[in-house]
A and B are shown apart, each in its own frame.
Chain A
Amino acid sequence: MQDLTDLYQSVILDHNRRPRNRGKLPTANRVAHGDNPSCGDQCTVYLRLDGDRIGEISFEGSGCAISQASASLMTLNLKGKTVPEAEALYADVHRLVTTGKVDEDNLSDLAALAGVHQFPARIKCATLGWHAALNAAKGDPITATTETHKD
């Protein structure tokens, strides 16, 4: 049960119950979709890029508490960042959810995702929205997927 309360921290439950920045973004100039083919989770991320900077960000989708909370936390953390800053932050988040190590001060509330590393099957739930957001930011038109093979 200790592991599960690590995974489902109050920050995660709160963001799952009341996702922030959920819905379409009317002013978006970039959009990307992510699929998790093995479990059916979906996430669409809308961005308004002002030059190199993420001016606005929102998401839509369905999935488990981890995927929804991670996407919600992501929108709060990526708003205002430049694309390279967003990529650097995702590298930290990826290390966090795969190793559980919080060695960056700038992770703040994202540290709630640390418990994910104890559940390897759930890592892709936590990263789906991030993949979609980075694809959108880089103008990559392909659908993000957490699996290598997709029809």
Chain B
Amino acid sequence: MTLDLTKTRADFPILHQQVNGQPLVYLDNGATSQKPRQVIDALVRYYEHDNSNVHRGLHALSMRATDAYEGARARVAKFINAADPAEVLFTRGTTESINLVARSWGHAHLKPGDVVLTTEFEHHSNLVPWQQAAKAAGATLKYVPLLGADGEGGLDMAALDRLLTPQVKLFAFTHISNTLGTINPVAELCRRARAVGAVTVIDAAQSIGHGPLDVQAIGCDFLAFSGHKMCGPTGIGVLYGRRALLDKLAPDETGGGMVVSVTYEGATWKPAPERFEAGTPNVAGAIGLGAACDYLDSVGRERIAAHDDALVRIAMEKLSALPGIRIIGPRKGAERSGLVSFAFENVHAHDIVTFADEDGVALRGGHHCNQPLMRKLGLTSTTRASFYLYNTEHEIDRLVTSLRRIQNFFAG
């Protein structure tokens, strides 16, 4: 069940380079993943052989492009076990997906007195759209608290039960926290939300491609993710929506490709998914995303999940041994996804990232688009190392060596 790391790393051309004279150690996968040759080849093949507009042309290239685009939709539907490919809407990414729900669903359903529920540890992309939607409707936005001084306790499930009242019309939460690494019990959260009739929206940006994901087993109404964090291209993402909800949802954007009939007086909409994909879509991006699904399944998503888990346990053990380190999120490797976010008392995250870069180690430093959470934890920034299928234990050692050098330099 273990990954063949030599073979896997050989699939990613970008990994085989030196940065500042050192072999690259790429530990910024939470921000974006690298792309395997198989995905890059799919993009090149499309542009060299099939490039055309979709759903419009009757010529050979257009039909090929349309087949490939709709094939990618069916592939993604299978990847997340959607009941129907029409439940997969292509967007620019997680942010656009969530905004689409917040604007379209929010505009149609939210009223003064309603409550939108989210958590204290959402990425800004699953927070600001709900602030805006609640404001526009005169509804109230409430937050399920995070437990523990370092956010180690996860969601406060007792508080959730108190907060989940019949006034809650929508509950939006992350699958995996990009800052804490916390894995939320998404199926359980959906079950509790359903009991009060609330619609559920899951931000799956950090979980997609890191393990198996089944929207029917989770039981969510909407689920959003980006292609670029799962070995796919940038600029393509997905909003999964249950058919029954999509059929009743008005489009957010209008224009070509999403209409049945247009007169000078008005227009009528196609059903999902076309209703939500006005204009020429990102055809190449969708095809690249389909290729990424193929690639990840050829490696095996259970294997990837086990690999992430093994790496994060090693990283937690080795990083915990560094003097003065404060690690946020779940204490045990087993309870967290493949990322570790930490702070040193006397060295700011940006200084750490600059020094690590000098050693060829790519990290993320900052507030991770999570400013309210940082404030709650009494931090202004953390440094994050996030792992994926091509990372190795040796790379964690390189990280630790670099961090020791940084601590020594600033202790000077």
Which one of B355, B366, B409 contacts A40 once the chains associate, using CB atoms below 8 Å? B366
Q: How far in angstroms is the closest Cβ of chain A from B252?
A: 21
Contacting pair B354 A13 (CB below 8 A): no
Q: How far in angstroms is the closest Cβ of chain B from A70?
A: 13
Which one of B348, B365, B371, B380 contacts A65 once the chains associate, using CB atoms below 8 Å? B348
Q: Could you tell me the distance between the alpha carbons of A23 and B349 in the complex, rounded to whole angstroms? A: 22
Q: Could you tell me the distance between the alpha carbons of A134 and B346 in the complex, rounded to whole angstroms? A: 28
Number of interface residues of B (CB under 8 A): 19
Instruction: With A1-B358, A4-B358 as known contacts, state yes or no: A39 contacts B351, CB within 8 Å.
Output: no
A10's closest neighbor in chain B, by CB? B412
A73 contacts the other chain (Cβ, under 8 Å)?
no
Query: With contacts defined as CB atoms under 8 Å apart, how many contacts are there between chain A and chain B in the complex?
Result: 47
Contacts of A125 in B (CB 8 A): 350
Q: How far in angstroms is the closest Cβ of chain A from B54?
A: 33
Q: How far in angstroms is the closest Cβ of chain A from B200?
A: 28
B264 contacts the other chain (Cβ, under 8 Å)?
no
A62 contacts the other chain (Cβ, under 8 Å)?
yes
Contact with B along A10-47 (1 / 0, CB 8 A): 00010001000000000000000000001111100000
Instruction: With A39-B366, A40-B371, A40-B374 as known contacts, state yes or no: A13 contacts B412, CB within 8 Å.
Output: yes
Interface residues of B in 348-364 (CB under 8 A from A): 348-351, 354-355, 358
Interface residues of B in 339-388 (CB under 8 A from A): 346-351, 354-355, 358, 365-367, 371, 374, 380-381
Q: How far in angstroms is the closest Cβ of chain B from A119?
A: 7
A138 contacts the other chain (Cβ, under 8 Å)?
no
Residues of chain A touching chain B, judged by Cβ–Cβ distance below 8 Å, are 1, 3-4, 7-8, 13, 17, 38-42, 62-66, 68, 119, 122, 125
7 pairs of residues in contact across A and B, judged by CB atoms under 8 Å: A13-B412, A39-B350, A39-B366, A39-B367, A41-B350, A64-B354, A119-B354
